[in-house]
Structure 1
Amino acid sequence: MPHIGPADGPGKRALRRDFLDARNRLTADDVREAADALAGRALGLPEVAGAHTVAAYVSVGAEPGTFALLDALRARGVRVLLPALRPDNDLDWGEYAGEGSLARVRHGGRMELFEPAGERLGPDAVTRAGVVLLPGVAVDARGLRLGRGGGSYDRVLARLQHAGARPALLVLLYDREVVAHVPAEPHDRPVDAVVTPSGVRRFR
């Protein structure tokens, strides 16, 4: 697989900073209410309802919250995979078994992440998921996602394509983060849908 790393121009960096600044102004109540609404919207999607395995992530800070969704999926008997960041910025995966199965991990000078504390399943584990939830800070009318800038999920998407896997690709965002246009790179791939507290928008 070709190396895919961060490919950010100044336009992406400035836009990402604006969206992250807006998130940081949210209150704890804002974040909690949005997380509950996001879980309800996502659980109502047919592709989520029919999935045996969902690759997700643990939200941190003012990111659109995922804990309510993770626990609801697990209660339904869905296998939930969570990422663990590797030194090369690629992602390994482990199984979610409740909040007690997570470890706080700090990677260099970045914020602490919650990662699965149990067995590592390998980077290819994501190819067996029926749904992949992608973190992001915005998505545009084409379904192109503005990520956090590390390139980890570009590698995940390339791995899925290489394996011929076609999971539903979903991004969880706040309503104001669905915009007309975000700067794109040649390797960027559109998501299938964005889930926000007020609804779902599909792109293809």
Structure 2
Amino acid sequence: MHVPGNETPSKAEWRTRILRARADLPPEDHAREAAALAAAAAALPAETVCAYLPFGTEPGRISLVDALAATGARVLLPVIPDTPGPLDWAEYTGPDTLTPGRLRGVLEPSGPRLGPATVASAQVLLIPALAVDREGNRLGRGAGYYDRTLTAAADVARVAVVRATEVVDRLPAEPHDVAMTAALTPLGLVQLPAAAVAW
């Protein structure tokens, strides 16, 4: 994504531009991209995946999580904690077991809470993002839940889920940011420099 007239846009400027572009995406294009994302997710090699349920204008739909489960993988979904901190996790066992979470529009699994450290048991962590750059820097919404979670996921493949146009050349980054190892887009998996090995 090129930002004309501004070579160093701020995180706030990036968020505004990307959220506007997502809101302007026609529903049929969103559905087409969601189906492609689900197919790409099903190709990820993992026995356990920490994923999430896209909502609103985020890329993907529940079909992404169902596609992962259909491969036989154990799928864990985030549970937002009552106080600021890393995400908790619970196993996804089907759409009928989802309940409204603390944030409006976000569904969470109703099963037993497994604890924040469970993320380290996964081979792949799918992470919502507004954009990711070629060096693996991720732009989130700014709430910090995933920033706090990533410290326990050092040995897990960290995959930002974005539209193809949201893989950009450069994003603002902070020294404490944890790099993504790949980006999952409707066009497939994009390897990033932080990946220790190619999939």
TM-score of Structure 1 vs Structure 2, range by shorter chain: 0.7 to 0.9
Q: Which residue is equivalent to 2:131?
A: 138
SS at match of 2:58: coil
Q: Aligned partner of 1:129: which letter?
A: A
Q: Which residue is equivalent to 2:186?
A: 197
TM-score when scaled to structure 2? 0.87
Higher helix share: 1
Q: Pairwise mapping of residues 78-157 of structure 1 onto structure 2 (< 5 A)? A: 78-90=73-85, 91-107=87-103, 111-157=104-150
Instruction: State percent identity of aligned pairs.
Output: 44
RMSD, matched Cα: 1.5
Q: Aligned partner of 2:95: which letter?
A: E
Q: Which residue is equivalent to 2:3?
A: none
Gaps of 5+ in 1: 1-9
Cα distance in 2 for partners of 1:24, 1:36 equals 18
TM-score when scaled to structure 1? 0.85
Deviations 1:115-166 (A, max 9, x none): 11121111111110110001100011101110111111111111223xxxx1
Cα distance in 1 for partners of 2:73, 2:53 equals 16
Deviates more, 1:131-140 or 1:89-98: 89-98
Query: Does the CA contact (< 8 Å) of 1:55 and 1:126 recur in 2?
Result: yes
Q: Which residue is equivalent to 1:23?
A: 22
Cα distance in 1 for partners of 2:42, 2:118 equals 22
Query: Does the CA contact (< 8 Å) of 2:79 and 2:109 recur in 1?
Result: yes
Match of 2:160 among 145, 156, 171: 171
Instruction: Sort the Cα spacing of 1:42 and 1:176 in 2 relative to 1 into closer, same or farther, 3 A.
Output: same
Cα distance in 1 for partners of 2:51, 2:102 equals 19
Q: Which residue is equivalent to 2:6?
A: none
Cα distance in 2 for partners of 1:158, 1:198 equals 28
Deviations 1:39-73 (A, max 9, x none): 222322xxx22x11100000001101142221122
Instruction: Sort the Cα spacing of 1:168 and 1:42 in 2 relative to 1 into closer, same or farther, 3 A.
Output: same
Deviations 1:61-94 (A, max 9, x none): 1101142221122122211000011122331111
Cα distance in 2 for partners of 1:16, 1:87 equals 25
Moved over 6 A (4+): none
Cα distance in 2 for partners of 1:66, 1:181 equals 27
Q: Aligned partner of 1:57: which letter?
A: Y
Q: Which residue is equivalent to 1:7?
A: none
Deviations 1:165-184 (A, max 9, x none): x1111111111111111100
Query: Does the CA contact (< 8 Å) of 1:89 and 1:150 recur in 2?
Result: no
Gaps of 5+ in 2: 1-8, 194-199
